[in-house]
Amino acid sequence: MRISGKALLTAGAAAAGAVTATRIAAARRSSTQAAGRRHVITVNRAFDEAGTGRLPAPLAELGEAVEIRRQPAPGGRGTEISARARSGKVSDGDIRRALREARSELEVGYVLLPGGPTTEPTPLNKPLREATAHGREGGLL
């Protein structure tokens, strides 16, 4: 027997928002070497559409804590959005996640949520679980 998942859709979105909020409220102190670096992504949307007007929610939520720039990508290949922390209030991880989520919102209209989970914690997979709990915050972006 299957239960309909439609109700969960909205619940899922709300949960994602709550997580975002907690992250910002917690304002994890950034202590990485690259703190203050400018992080940048290219969004596959024309500058007219993605380069002006309201920022997508994940970036808007960071508010005054980040400085954001938008410019047309070379060759008309979309819009570059970059962000840099103005102070230690926002971590590089927060910025990476916000940029990736903003790109998804602009391109797709929503951010892909993970499926499952079907797994259980073990001492062996502890580091992996920690990494995937912050899957959009890490990396090199």
Partner 1 sequence: MKALQWQGVNKLAVGDVPDPQLRNPGDIIVKVRRTVTCGSDLHLLGGYIPFMEKGDVLGHEFLGEVVEVGPEVRRHRVGDRVVVSSFISCGKCWFCEQELYSLCDNGNTNPAITETLWGQAPGGCFGYSHAMGGNPGSHAEYIRVPFADVGAFPVPGEVSDERALFASDAAATGWMGADLGGVKPGDVVAVWGAGGVGQMAARAAMLLGAERVIVIDRLDNRLQQVEKYIGAETLNFERTDVALELRERSGGRGPDVCIEAVGMEAAGKGPQYAYDQLKQQLRLQSDRPVAVREAVHACRKGGSVFVLGVYAGFVDKFPLGALMNKGVTMRGAQMHGQRYIPMLLDRMARGELVTEHLATHVMPLAEAPEGYRIFKEKEDNCVRAVFVP
Q: Which residues bind partner 1 (CB under 8 A)?
A: 2-6, 8-9, 12, 42, 44, 77-78, 100, 103-104, 107-120, 122, 124-125, 128-129, 131-132, 134-141
Q: How far is the CB of 118 from partner 1 (least distance, A)?
A: 4
State phi, psi for 107 to the nearest 5 degrees: -85, -45
Cα of first residue to Cα of last residue in the chain, in angstroms, is 43
Question: At its nearest, how many Å lie between partner 1 and the CB of residue 138?
Answer: 3
Question: Closest CB to partner 1 among 53 and 116?
Answer: 116
Q: Are 73 and 80 in contact (CB under 8 A)?
A: yes
Structure tokens at 83: 């962000």
Place of tokens 């007219």: 48
Closer CB to partner 1, 11 or 60, in the complex: 11
Q: Cα–Cα distance between 16 and 110 in angstroms, integer?
A: 11
Supply the minimum distance, in Å, between the C-beta of residue 64 and partner 1.
26
3 state SS of 7: helix
Of 61 and 80, the one with the shorter C-beta distance to partner 1 is 80
Lookup: tokens for 120: 């259980």
User: Least Å distance between CB 24 and partner 1?
Assistant: 19
Cβ proximity to partner 1: between 21 and 131 the closer is 131
Token readout for 31 is 């202590």
